[in-house]
Amino acid sequence: FDQLKWRVSYGLNYNSGGIRQTLGMPFYDFTNSDTYRGNRMINLVEFYNPDLKFEKTKQWSAAVDFGLLDHRLYGTLEAYVKNTDDLLSTIDIPASNGYTSLLQNIGALQNKGIELTLSGVPIRTDHFRWTSRLNVAYNINEITDLYGQDEIRVGSEGYFKVGEPINSAFVKHWAGVNPVNGVPIYYTRSRELVGGSNAPQMIGFGTYNHPYTGGLTNIFNYKNLEVSMLLTF
């Protein structure tokens, strides 16, 4: 080994997540087009939430930097855990409020993973150099708390659910048709059958985000000429 170095770090980050002045307190605006008995009307600019707070993320990480074979092969292996509290998200609210969505601190999220970065110089001569870089990462996340709720509806088809990752796919689990009356039937989360007037539950079927990502870069240098190639997954 030419190099072997350990690193441990801790960080605290605050994120505004789209919070702006008009979302934390009431702001009103005069309208020029709408009048009542000749008087200009005043409107609430947007539905506000006085309890908004910044997202807070705590991160712990440990890494090792290494180099060997006269530094022709070197890289970094790092593992990390991120815990986010007061997660910000826009959720649906009843239209009777005058608005249909509201930015809220909805819960807590955990991200954890491991990353490997590996670089090497397979060929190195006076006029030619081949450098190769590989990056592989594994990351998973989980909603750990929704502040007293088990799930929250987000958008027309999205859900946040405790124990499920962000960007999970939720579907109605089709079980067929009742042969007696032709009514569609579905599975519940406990594998019971429901149909007719009983609304089917939305069941998590995994996440849209693949846990593995990476890339491979090859750079070829011959005198003043450079050619590079990048592959990602």
Hey, how many other C-beta atoms are within 10 angstroms of the C-beta on 105?
A: 20
Q: How wide is the angle at C-alpha 97 spanned by C-alphas 96 and 102, nearest 5°?
A: 125
Q: So what's the pLDDT on residue 199?
A: 63
Residue 197: predicted pLDDT: 60
What is the predicted pLDDT for the residue at 161? 87
Q: What is the pLDDT of residue 221?
A: 95
Instruction: Kindly state the DSSP code that residue 51 receives in the 8-state scheme.
Output: T
Amino acid at 169: A
How far is it, in rounded angstroms, from Cα 107 to Cα 46? 23
- As a whole number, the mean pLDDT across the chain is 85
What phi-psi label fits residue 154: left (phi over 0), alpha (psi between -120 and 50 degrees) or beta? beta
Task: Divide the 233 residues of the chain into consecutive groups of 10 and give the mean pLDDT of each group.
Answer: 91 84 71 71 76 92 92 93 92 78 89 96 91 96 91 74 85 82 81 71 78 96 94 93
Taken as a whole, the chain contains a residue count of 233
Give this prediction's pTM: 0.75
Give the helix/strand (H/E) hosting 86: strand 73-92
Q: How high is the pLDDT of residue 196?
A: 64
First to last CA, the chain: 30
pLDDT tens digits, one per residue of 178-214: 888 888 888 877 777 787 666 667 777 778 888 999 9
List Cβ neighbours of 58 (8 Å cut-off, separation of 6 or more): 10, 11, 12, 82, 83
